Amino acid sequence: MKGTPKSGEPFGDHSREAGTRGAPLSIMSRIAEARPEPEQLTLDPREAAPSPPFSQQKQKWPGKESEMDPAPDYGAETYRGHGRLEGRIALITGADSGIGRAVALAFAREGAHIAFTYLPEEKTDALESKAAINEAGVDCLPIAADLSEPTTCEDVIQKTVERFGRIDILVNNAAFQGEATDDVSELTPGRVEQTLRVNVLAPFVLVRACLPHMGPGGSIINVSSIQAYDPSSPILDYATSKGALVTFTKGLAQSLIERGIRVNSVAPGPVWTPLVIQSFSPEKNAHFGENSPMGRPAQPAELAPPFVFLASDESRYVNGEILGVTGGRLLA
């Protein structure tokens, strides 16, 4: 049609900008100039949380979140629930701090009632976790427990069932990570045994004791690690245990789906938690996460959404998967 502009051209000469003739600006140009800059709706992930260098710091085992600088973000000010776990019962090991606390808070704000374990030495942090969970309006059962003892693991399941009647979600999060060593010869049999008892044996025992109380639709989530795929020699016992959890997850998923129970794993990369501060030197901690593709460690709050996904019906066709939350480091 005569006078119809070609694709990409402005509509007629009256909308063209002035050039040298001094004609007025186009209507669209004037609107564009008057329109305020749009509010930034997305966030650069590299700048979404504190980046190193941090202050040099070192804590004794097992570490306290309340004494870390900067304080880890577990989602207290940011996580919003949508009722995806309404009325469910979740048992989360090691939820006094770090990833466990962030997951417990997220589950609570999604409507789940929470039981969680902590070491007696971690009572101060555990009380803060309990307060945050209770503020979400759900029931909470903190259980002091040393999970290196199988009978204690069985007691944890029993206490949870006595309180809530069943278990719908089990998160095997608690872990032991000793101080970084300079040589593999420093990894004594006693230390390796402690690592494997907490990180591998306890999940076996907890799952075994939990099964009579978990029905179809249940979800088990094991916390593995980037260390299973890219192990660091100074914490080789820890890395080995996380590799075992990957195998445990994949094999268990094939077995338990026959009961309608799904089993998956979240594999974190570097995360700013007490586990780190009590394991490495002050100098190492000051630069923790610096070699991540994002140039920083994750905050615990950034790990919670994948756990909510795996615990909820939104992932009902996901089974036997290892979900990496590594900031770009690859799971091979």
Which contiguous run of DSSP H or E holds residue 144? strand 140-144
Q: DSSP 3-state assignment of 218?
A: coil
Q: Cα separations (Å) of 146 from 159, 165, 198, 241?
A: 14, 23, 8, 17
- Taking the CA atoms of 117, 119, 120 and 124 in sequence, report the sign of the dihedral they define: negative
Q: If we measure between CA atoms, which residue out of 184, 316, 164 comes closest to residue 240? A: 184
DSSP line for 165-198: S--SEEEE---------SSGGG--HHHHHHHHII
Q: If we measure between CA atoms, which residue out of 52, 53, 49, 91 comes closest to residue 72? A: 49
Q: Could you give the CA distance from residue 278 to residue 78 in angstroms, rounded to a whole number?
A: 27
229 flagged as catalytic: no
Q: If we measure between CA atoms, which residue out of 311, 330, 310, 312 comes closest to residue 321? A: 310
- The residue from 74, 118, 229, 238 that is catalytic is 238
Catalogue the active-site residues. Answer: 238
